[in-house]
């Protein structure tokens, strides 16, 4: 039913293909749990300004550097409704198809699945999360065109995970209380150790 619009790859001036060279750029820092800014509800993007375009580029740089398959603006401290996703890309196969999604919304869902998720903002844990198996996402791209994407499996999971970030929800908020509490304790210990070693 719908056309999926893909954002064309980033301009050649940005050395995205070469992770060696991105390492030398000033990458934005990824906020980590339990940073309170990850719990904020992000505000919609209004006009697409140069600032927004630069932020999208910064987000892509961070995502590919980490590496990750998705990143939401609040993860780098910008509480606005924008995410970047590339579920085609892996470290071995450097074919990149970045999607920049502004004010993304899920307008249809169907089915259920359980997927093992992780998150750049939630270190050292992966856990199974129940999600919709297929979704239809509506958003705006950087050219201010409406984008409608039908997604399933990994891409659908990624969309749901990233949009959760815009609502201040982390994937560990969707696992059992017991598992979450164990993780929170482990994470606190880890942070204490880091402080002691510093």
Active site residues: 162
Residue 178's φ and ψ, nearest 5 degrees, are -60, -50
Angstrom distances, CA of residue 160 to CA of 14, 136, 154, 156: 28, 10, 10, 6
Among 69, 83, 84, 119, binds Zn ion (CB under 5 A): 119
Binding mask 39-68 for Zn ion (x = CB under 5 A): ------------------------------
Q: Where are the beta strands (DSSP E) in 22-169?
A: 70-72, 82-85, 99-119, 122-140, 146-152
CA distance 56 to 198: 33
Shortest distance (Å) from residue 147 CB to Zn ion: 21
**DSSP SS3 for 2:** coil
Q: Pattern of binders to Zn ion over 76-115, x per CB under 5 A?
A: ----------------------------------------
101: nearest Cα among 174, 61, 68, 52: 52
Question: Residue 163: which residues within 8 A CB-CB, separation 6 or more?
Answer: 72, 83, 104, 105, 106
Counting residues that bind Zn ion (by CB under 5 A) gives 1
Contact 140, 147 (CB under 8 A): yes
CB under 5 A: which stretch of 28-36, 77-85, 108-116, 118-126 binds Zn ion?
Answer: 118-126
Closer to Zn ion at the Cβ: 10 or 74?
74
Minimum CB distance to Zn ion, residue 160 (Å): 11
C-beta of 119 vs 127, nearer to Zn ion: 119
Nearest residue to Zn ion on Cβ basis: 119
Min CB(11)–Zn ion separation in Å: 26
* Site of interaction with Zn ion (CB under 5 A): 119
């Amino acid at each position: 039913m719908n056309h999926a619009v893909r954002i064309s790859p980033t301009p050649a001036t940005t050395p995205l293909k070469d992770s060696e060279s991105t390492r030398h750029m000033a990458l934005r820092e990824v906020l980590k749990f339990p940073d309170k800014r990850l719990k904020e509800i992000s505000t919609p993007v209004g006009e697409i300004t140069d600032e927004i375009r630069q932020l999208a580029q910064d987000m892509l740089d961070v995502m590919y550097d980490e590496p990750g398959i998705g990143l939401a603006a609040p993860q780098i401290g910008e509480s606005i409704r924008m995410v970047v996703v590339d579920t085609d890309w892996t470290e071995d196969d450097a074919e990149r198809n970045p999607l920049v999604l502004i004010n993304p919304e899920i307008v249809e869902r169907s089915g259920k699945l359980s997927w093992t998720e992780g998150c750049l903002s939630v270190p050292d844990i992966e856990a199974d999360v129940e999600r919709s198996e297929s979704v239809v996402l509506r958003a705006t791209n950087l050219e201010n065109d409406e984008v409608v994407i039908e997604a399933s499996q990994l891409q659908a999971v990624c969309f749901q995970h990233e949009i959760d970030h815009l609502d201040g929800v982390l994937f560990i908020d969707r696992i059992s209380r017991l598992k979450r509490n164990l993780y929170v304790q482990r994470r606190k210990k880890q942070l204490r150790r880091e402080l002691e070693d510093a």
